[in-house]
Amino acid sequence: MFDEMDRLRDEKELSGLLTHYAVLGAADRQVWQDRLLDREGVEARQLVRLYGELLAYGWLDQNTGLTPVLRRGEAPASYRITTAGLRALKQLRAEQTAA
């Protein structure tokens, strides 16, 4: 049986990307954040897959309608962490602390 928490636990790039949006959303989770277009040590194709996973698990929301003025090479106001995403990170931290 597939467990998305296993993926979050085992894939540091996945947990790192989710943590990125948790940090950005700490002050106000309802604010849409710009898409992170590159991440050190992560190829562009892999980053796309990571976003897909986070969306599929319900850990990120995607803003597909109300975006500000589009600029070449940017993706403003694209994502925000969900309550489920925060819960997953909290569970991950609790497991790491207990270990």
Helix/strand/coil (H, E, C) string of 16-60? HHHHHHHHHCCCCCCCCECCCCCECCECHHHHHHHHHHHHHCCCE
- What is the reported pTM? 0.90
Mean pLDDT of the chain: 90
Q: What is the pLDDT of residue 27?
A: 94
CATH number for position 34:
1.10.10
Tokens of 23: 């940090």
- 11 lies in which domain range? 4-98
Q: Amino acid letter at 64?
A: T
Residue 68 predicted with pLDDT over 70: no
